[in-house]
Chain A
């Protein structure tokens, strides 16, 4: 029997994101990467630093752990909290020498959010970044949404209202 099917679309990911995933996959510090999966965004606790694309690299310099982060928005106050959380998590696991390096280039972009991360966002009630025409209510998935404000509870989010279920929801802005 001949089976004909639709060609599967393989999603493209940005080169830097591919590099980041490679770094994790090929790392000798797999344990530390996994540890850091428990460090969540304080404002959006559905996402870990890895999910967000903030956690860029983990390396060891003798006994010191070096964690490289890319900040999301320049003024994001959560970055300070996340750094503290990283230190706590590593200290608790016995790594007492931790240094956190901030890397500005390549600039953080929502393009680095995986499909998995986007689904988590939706599950948490925040509409994930999309083309303007593609923003959907995270509660009822309706397409007729209205923007209330370009800036919401945090700089990274905008405020929308659903035309179907009337719920107000946060939208994670593409940047």
Chain B
């Protein structure tokens, strides 16, 4: 097993976490009310911490002087390998929480599976983040029910959100060559196998939230290949501005 493959695998997971963490952090000072502002930014912080753990591992496996900061702040859009669902703009609160729920359900299942990896570092990271994730899913699931089975307006916004997001969920379960290699070596997760249980849980929640599950008419992919939506570049220009304008700056 070569370090390069494991590094690339870890980088993907790091990018997923960084991009979603950054999106969540955009709610800072803009939350619907104070307690929600705190909740959103705390979840963002958990994700940023997760990103650091995975980037840290990629750094350990690198021999080209890469650092956590160079991965996060100095790579261009085409080098980011996160799934597209994470980079979508936050939209309204309904969109943010619906995206969060769909991703939280996936992440818990993914991390549960990653706990079985042959790679001790990945297992250690999974063991750490899965506990925090339990609080994330509890919260996002509650919001699905509250907003879905809420007022006419909240219901409408939730229905719109789930329809805008549905086509982005399939990418989470795709297995490309690296995924297949990692899975065959017992290091990575068999994402495809997570789909049916995930769908079952999500369907139940949508039903409980009085939301209509969208049909599988369309799907979007490309994140792992660096082919992103038009939104990622704008997000990176925000995230990376300081480091690019003042290279090497430290707090």
Contacts and interface: CB of A to CB of B under 8 A. Distances in A.
A74 B53 contact: yes
Interface in B35-74: 35-36, 38-39, 42-50, 52-53
Interface residues of B, number: 29
Nearest to A158: B135
Contact of A151 (B43, B120, B127): B43
Contacts of B120: 105
Interface class of chain B by DSSP: helix
B35 A74 contact: no
A76 B49 CA distance: 7
B168 to A, nearest CB: 25
B125 interface: yes
A151 B128 contact: no
B38 A105 contact: no
B239 interface: no
Nearest to B121: A104
A73 B49 contact: yes
B39 A149 contact: yes
Given A152-B38, A153-B38, A107 B46 contact: no
Contacts of B49: 73-76
Contact of A175 (B42, B131, B139): B131
Interface class of chain A by DSSP: loop
Given A149-B36, A173-B135, A77 B45 contact: yes
Contacts of A159: 35, 38
Contact of B52 (A74, A154, A173): A74
A73 B139 contact: no
Contacts of B125: 104
A154 B45 CA distance: 9
Given A75-B47, A148-B35, A175 B124 contact: no
B131 A104 contact: no
Contacts of B124: 104-105, 107
Contact of A104 (B35, B46, B128, B139): B128
B111 to A, nearest CB: 12
A64 B28 CA distance: 41
A153 B35 CA distance: 9
Query: Lowest 9 CB-CB distances: which A-B pairs, in order?
Result: A75-B49, A74-B49, A75-B45, A104-B124, A149-B35, A151-B42, A151-B39, A105-B124, A155-B42
Interface of B: 21, 35-36, 38-39, 42-50, 52-53, 120-121, 123-125, 127-129, 131-132, 135, 138-139
26 contacts: A73-B132, A74-B46, A74-B50, A74-B132, A75-B45, A75-B47, A75-B49, A75-B50, A76-B49, A77-B45, A104-B124, A104-B125, A105-B123, A106-B127, A107-B124, A109-B131, A148-B35, A149-B36, A149-B38, A150-B39, A150-B138, A150-B139, A152-B42, A155-B45, A159-B35, A159-B38
Interface of A: 71, 73-77, 104-109, 148-155, 159, 173, 175
Given A75-B48, A76-B45, A150-B139, 5 more contacts: A75-B50, A77-B45, A104-B53, A149-B35, A150-B138
